[in-house]
Amino acid sequence: MAYAYDDQNIFAKILRGEIPNKTVLDTEHTLAFHDIAPQAPEHVLVIPKGAYVNFDHFAQAASEAEIVDFTRAIAAVCKELGVEPGEGGMGYRLLANSGEAGVQEVPHLHVHVVSGRPLGRMLQKQ
Ligand code: 5GP
């Protein structure tokens, strides 16, 4: 695995406090904040604080503490948004775009938590 992390990406700048964000959750290893261009009534980005390019990089290189914290943070965001189906919420979708085929714009791992309306098909037909 040979990932080079670009520390000038926009989420690295958010983590360094160089760019403001609307924080939803801030834990030891994870930050969650509102997407600047929401594609649904609820659209939150969850990112690890470590320098990981995408999900497979994170899953292979992160510590267990980072992985547990990140996973639990996603659940905490769902709870904060009130969208957990098990608690009567309307549900949500998690997305982690990676690389060219995934059309990843920002090269720092982020999971989109999207909800607030019926979200339609998972993928557009070509
Ligand atoms: P990707 O296409 O990489 O999966 O998603 C990148 C996401 O980052 C997009 O949904 C975009 O709106 C969001 N984004 C880009 N720049 C900023 C920013 O400066 N602040 C916030 N909060 N979100 C951003």
CATH for 100: 3.30.428.10
Dig out the tokens for 19 from the structure.
């760019």
Q: How far is the CA of 44 from the centre of ligand 1 (A)?
A: 10
Backbone angles phi and psi of 85, in degrees to 5: -60, -35
Q: What pTM, to 2 d.p., does this model score?
A: 0.97
Percent of residues in the chain assigned helix, strand, coil, to nearest 5: 25, 20, 55
Inform me whether the pLDDT recorded for 1 exceeds 70.
Answer: no
Residue 46: give the domain boundaries.
Answer: 10-115
Residues 6+ apart with CB under 8 A from 109: 47, 48, 52, 53, 54, 55, 57, 58, 96
Q: List the one residue out of 11, 105, 93 whose CA is nearest residue 52.
A: 11
Q: How confident is the model over 100-117, as a mean pLDDT?
A: 98
DSSP conformational letter for 19: S
112 is annotated as an active-site residue = no
Q: What percent of the chain has pLDDT over 70?
A: 99
Residues 43-94 pLDDT 10s:
999 999 999 999 999 999 999 999 999 999 999 999 999 999 999 999 999 9
Inform me whether the pLDDT recorded for 26 exceeds 70.
Answer: yes
- Ligand 1: which of 22, 105, 108 to mutate, most ligand atoms within 8 Å of CB? 105
Q: How far is the CA of 108 from the centre of ligand 1 (A)?
A: 10
Domain total for the chain? 1
